Amino acid sequence: MSSIEELRALTAAEHLGGLCADIVGAAARSVVLHGSLSAGGFRPGRSDIDLLVVVDGGLTEAQATALERLVRTADAGSAAGVDLHVVTAEVVGAPNRSPALELHLGRYDWVSAEVEVERQVTAAPDLLVELSMARADGRALVGAAPHVVIAPIPIDWIVDRGQHWLMTWRSLSDDAENAAFMVLTACRIWRFALEHVHSSKARAAKWALERNPSLAVVRQAVLQYEHDPTITVDEHGIVALLDLVLLETARPNDN
């Protein structure tokens, strides 16, 4: 059963999705809710409202401006912010390794008062993961179902992008502010590569500990993320986990 806080966030997401469709008008093909509010694992005050808006023919500048204004002022309920991606039906219907992005708006209230704005990004490789998660676990708030508008994303593309970030994070293991995020996302990458299942941070951490109970760094990351932000996540443990996940997610033809 959903908590009152989760129901508040769901109500806010449904209202926000309807307003997005109103702004886009007839071009709106689908407004998809994905992430923790759809797939599970929502945490009040830390999880965002994740929306994917699929449009025909792109956005006008007036529409993009109106969406930005909406995200800046929207009531997020008990969610920590709003993460909105706008893509064209053409892009999601035949994705490539670096799909184009019409608009990204990120409002992360617990991190900053600023809103991230990206407009007409010609190559957004991290969008692949958003599309894959939305197709697998998202639900349409407006318009067509996710599996109707979003074509399947090749698993190898998702795994390759995960390995890119694992390698990047190896040189950032001293980033205490993002330590728990790196560890828990590495667990998500690990599980997807082996089982082709998208999962929340908490579920991925549980899976990783069942696979390898000796991973103290995963327990530290869960404690910091779920309960106490002052918990230290061991830097050497981060590197060891990243190396393990890189090894286990390597494909036979990887050098």
CATH classification of the domain holding 119: 3.30.460.10
- If asked whether residues 96 and 209 sit together in one domain, one would say no
In this predicted structure, what is the pLDDT of residue 139? 96
- CA dihedral (253, 207, 84, 148) in degrees, to 10, reads 70
In this predicted structure, what is the pLDDT of residue 1? 39
- If asked whether residues 61 and 136 sit together in one domain, one would say yes
Task: Examine residue 216 and state whether it is found in any structural domain, yes or no.
Answer: yes
- If asked whether residues 44 and 128 sit together in one domain, one would say yes
Task: Examine residue 61 and state whether it is found in any structural domain, yes or no.
Answer: yes
> Range of 17's domain?
4-149
In this predicted structure, what is the pLDDT of residue 213? 97
- If asked whether residues 8 and 87 sit together in one domain, one would say yes
- If asked whether residues 194 and 81 sit together in one domain, one would say no
In this predicted structure, what is the pLDDT of residue 253? 64
Task: Examine residue 241 and state whether it is found in any structural domain, yes or no.
Answer: yes
- If asked whether residues 127 and 27 sit together in one domain, one would say yes
Task: Examine residue 14 and state whether it is found in any structural domain, yes or no.
Answer: yes
- If asked whether residues 179 and 86 sit together in one domain, one would say no
- If asked whether residues 99 and 142 sit together in one domain, one would say yes
- If asked whether residues 101 and 211 sit together in one domain, one would say no
**Domain endpoint, select from 131, 149, 167:** 149
**Domain endpoint, select from 119, 149, 179:** 149
In this predicted structure, what is the pLDDT of residue 227? 86
Count of domains in the chain? 2
Please answer whether residues 26 and 76 qualify as being in contact, where contact means their C-beta atoms are separated by less than 8 angstroms.
no
User: Residue 108: CB partners within 8 Å, gap ≥ 6?
Assistant: 48, 80, 81, 83, 116
The ranges of the chain with pLDDT < 50 are 1
- If asked whether residues 99 and 160 sit together in one domain, one would say no
In this predicted structure, what is the pLDDT of residue 2? 59
- If asked whether residues 94 and 25 sit together in one domain, one would say yes
- 166-221 per-position pLDDT tens digit: 999 999 999 999 999 999 999 999 999 999 999 999 999 999 999 999 999 999 99
Residue 168 β-bridge partners:
none
**Domain endpoint, select from 149, 174, 199:** 149
- If asked whether residues 18 and 137 sit together in one domain, one would say yes
**Predicted TM-score of the model (pTM):** 0.92
